[in-house]
Each structure stands twice: as C-alpha cells, then as structure tokens.
Amino acid sequence: MSATIRWVRGGGLSTLLLLLPLLLVFGYFAWFPIGRAVVMSFQETNLVADPAWVGLDNFRQVLDDPLFWTSVRNTFFFTGLALLFGYPVPLVLAVVMSELRRGKGLYSGLAYLPVVVPPVVAVLLWRFFYDASQTGVFNTIFGWVGLGPFAWIQDASSAMPSLVLQATWANAGATVLIYLAALTAVRGDLYDAAEVDGAGLWRKIGHVTLPQLRGVLLITLILQVIATFQVFTEPYLMTNGGPQNATVTVLLQIYNYAFRFGDYGAATALSVLLALFLAVMSAVYFRLTRSWSTT
C-alpha cells in the first residue's frame, strides 16, 4: 500500500496519465489495427458479415500463389540494387559536401530537394521521363551522346533498375542530411592527428570518418533494408507490377489481394509473413553487428 502511495507521490500517476493520450492514440491507430490484421489473417471476411475462421488457409493460399516467389525475388532484387546504389551514394555525397568550404548549405539543399517533391508527383514525372520512344526525355539526352533509345520501364529486364534509380534519387537526400549531421560530431582533432601521422584523404576517410560513423551507418543500413522491403509507391505508380510481373513486389501483392481482389485474409496473411521476416532479420542483424555498434 505504501508502495502505491509512494508511486503516486513520486509522480508515477501523473506520468501515466500524461502518457495515456499517447497510449490511446497509438493503441487505437497503430497497435489495434496490427492486432486486428493478425486475427484477420486467420479469417475469411468481406468486412460486413461475421468472419469465418479458416485456420492457416490464407497462409497456404499466399504461399501457393505462383506470384509469391516472383514477388519475393523481385523485392530482394529491389533491395539489393537499392543498397548497391542507394547506400553508398548518400555517404559519398555527405563526405564530399562536408569537405566543401563554401556553399555547403546550397548543396545540402539541392540534395534534399527531391525529398520535398511529393512521391506521387516524382514517380509520375519519372514515368514521363522514362518514355521509351526516341523522343522521351532520357532517351533524347542519351541520344545526344549516341546511346539508346532504351526501353526503361517497358522491358522486363530494365524495369526494376529503372525503379531503383528513381527511388535512389528520391530518397538519398534525407540520408545525406543524417550523415552530414553525424559528420559534424566527428572530432576535428582526430583528423589533425591523422594528418600529423601523414594520412591522406582516403586514409582519413577509411580510418577516421567511417569508424566514427559506424553507429549511424549500421542504423541507416537496417532502416533502408526495412524500407526497401516495403517498396510500393514506385512499382504501383510506375509499372503496376509489369512488364511480365517483373516489378511485382511483396507489398504490391498485398495491395492487390486486398484492394484489387477484395481478399483481406490473404492480404493480412502476407503482411504478417512480411512483418515476421523483417522482425527476425532485424534481430539477427543487430545480434551479428553488436560488436561493431557504438551503443
């Protein structure tokens, strides 16, 4: 009893009450829908009549769908390509920009500009740029140097790299800013010491900058992997999964189940599978990289 009074007097109650609105908002708009989705993945429902319990049928249906492995493969492909291009590019840009003596603000503004453009507008603009005819914007530019015309999103083999290119352009700016902020925290005397020891630019980057950034690098890597595994806007707006299902991703497949075919059971089952996969992958990632982490 006295412990309760102590808790109340110690501010426990008012802390809880102050937290309550946040808990309710999160509970109602985030945790409750997540819980409902998990329940729904074991049901067949049209959202009006009482749902019927179907056990693991939705999971079986999703795993038996011929497009399941196509979408998984495509998602891995997107993630791999996005890491290949999208991970080092912002880092290089940030390091270069941090070395600049003038116009740092201008360049970081320019780098961030694509993030300000609404994603739908950006994707639709790029779809226009990717016009496969000789007179398309990109094809015209490549034509000046005797290249192309390229099929871009009209060909199964080049569609996904085209999406990655657009996604990298659109998202790199935000990561550049994170790296720039992290770079300001790198102590200048470390560079001075390295310079005294005769280190050149590359050695300073390799032995001072990158080790000092490793905490941020580890976090941005996993955040990027999680985000790219959930890629939707680009394939949905640019190619709608085509050509020949070359850009069908797991999230697009979830969307199609729910909103194209009205199969909410299958949609939530695949969502649960994706969430489980990402949770397990994140846990493994943090375990493997524990020794490198700065925290």
Instruction: Summarize as ranges the residues that interact with other proteins (CB under 8 A).
Output: 11, 13-14, 17-21, 24-25, 28, 46-49, 64, 66, 131-133, 136, 149, 151, 153-156, 239-240, 242-245, 256, 258-262, 264
Provide the token pair at 269.
């089952």
Provide the token pair at 126.
């790029």
Smallest distance, Å, CB 13 to other proteins? 6
Smallest distance, Å, CB 85 to other proteins? 23
Is the CB of 162 or the CB of 220 nearer to other proteins? 162
DSSP codes, 109-172: HHHHHHHHS-HHHHHHHHHHHT--STTSHHHHHHHHTT-----GGGSHHHHHHHHHHHHHHHHH
Smallest distance, Å, CB 131 to other proteins? 7
Smallest distance, Å, CB 20 to other proteins? 4
57 contact partners, CB below 8 Å, separation of at least 6: 44, 265
Rounded distance, CA 127 to CA 248, Å?
Answer: 17
Is the CB of 68 or the CB of 85 nearer to other proteins? 68
Smallest distance, Å, CB 140 to other proteins? 13
Is the CB of 93 or the CB of 251 nearer to other proteins? 251
Is the CB of 43 or the CB of 171 nearer to other proteins? 43
Smallest distance, Å, CB 183 to other proteins? 39
Query: Is-contact 234 163, C-beta < 8 A?
Result: yes
Rounded distance, CA 272 to CA 223, Å?
Answer: 19
Tell me: cis bond preceding 149? Omega within 30 of 0 counts: yes
Smallest distance, Å, CB 14 to other proteins? 4
Is the CB of 139 or the CB of 212 nearer to other proteins? 139
DSSP codes, 231-258: --HHIIIIITT-STTTT--HHHHHHIII
Is the CB of 78 or the CB of 236 nearer to other proteins? 236
Query: Is-contact 263 254, C-beta < 8 A?
Result: no
Is the CB of 173 or the CB of 241 nearer to other proteins? 241
Query: Is-contact 130 159, C-beta < 8 A?
Result: no
Provide the token pair at 82.
């996005």
